[in-house]
């Protein structure tokens, strides 16, 4: 395990998770070291570093779920721009069409909990495992006939 020094983060800079202090808000988070940004990139969202243990850093995502990531995963400090995105009033179905959203069929209805659905606890914390390495293909050294 290689030690990563703690830094004083500036908003907009990218650092490995192990270098950021607990309580830092971040976005554009990698699932595994070296992969492109995969998590927390919607308008106005951010994740929070909750705690560190062993070689992992626990991050709370905008959905309030907690995941443990490797200390070497990169993340950008701060919050994604356009914070007021979800507060923009639409007003009509035509305005939604103008914004590029197509209408739904009307057959599917989200269950909102008004009719006796149980409120359940959040699922336990999950570990993000690295992807499986691909098998190397054999090399054939032959001369053409």
Q: Flag whether 64 is in a domain.
A: yes
Q: Flag whether 137 is in a domain.
A: no
What digits encode the pLDDT tens for the residues 34-48? 888 889 999 999 999
Residue recorded with tokens 């090399």 = 139
Q: Flag whether 41 is in a domain.
A: yes
**Which pLDDT score, from 0 to 100, does residue 136 have?**
87
Count of the separate structural domains present in the chain: 1
CA gap 18, 59 in Å, rounded: 11
> Could you write out the DSSP letters of every residue in the chain?
----------TT-EEEGGGSPTT-EEESB-SSTTSPP-BS-STT--EEEEEEETTEEEEE-TTS-EEEEETT-EEEES--S-GGGGG----SHHHHHHTTPPPP-S------STTSPPPPPPPPPEEPPPPPPPPPPPP------
Q: Flag whether 55 is in a domain.
A: yes
Split at pLDDT 50, 70, 90, the class of 116 is low
Q: Flag whether 32 is in a domain.
A: yes
Q: Flag whether 112 is in a domain.
A: no
CB 79 within 8 A of CB 9: no
Supply the range of the domain harboring residue 48. Answer: 9-83
Split at pLDDT 50, 70, 90, the class of 5 is confident
CATH for 19: 2.30.30.30
Q: Flag whether 114 is in a domain.
A: no
Whole-prediction pTM:
0.63
Of 25 and 89, the structure prediction assigns the larger pLDDT to: 25
Q: Flag whether 17 is in a domain.
A: yes
pLDDT of 3 strictly over 60 = no
């Amino acid at each position: 395990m290689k030690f990563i020094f703690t830094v004083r983060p500036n908003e907009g800079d990218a650092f490995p998770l192990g270098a950021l202090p607990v309580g830092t808000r971040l976005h554009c988070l990698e699932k595994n070291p070296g992969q492109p940004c995969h998590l927390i990139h919607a308008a106005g969202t951010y994740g929070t570093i909750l705690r560190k243990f062993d070689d992992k850093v626990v991050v709370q995502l905008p959905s309030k779920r907690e995941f443990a990531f490797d200390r070497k995963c990169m993340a950008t400090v701060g919050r994604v721009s356009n914070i007021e995105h979800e507060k923009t009033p639409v007003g009509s179905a035509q305005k939604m069409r103008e914004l590029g959203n197509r209408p739904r069929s009307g057959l599917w209805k989200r269950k909102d909990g008004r009719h006796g659905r149980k409120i359940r606890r959040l699922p336990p914390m999950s570990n993000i495992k690295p992807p499986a390495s691909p098998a190397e293909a054999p090399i054939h050294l032959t001369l053409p006939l």
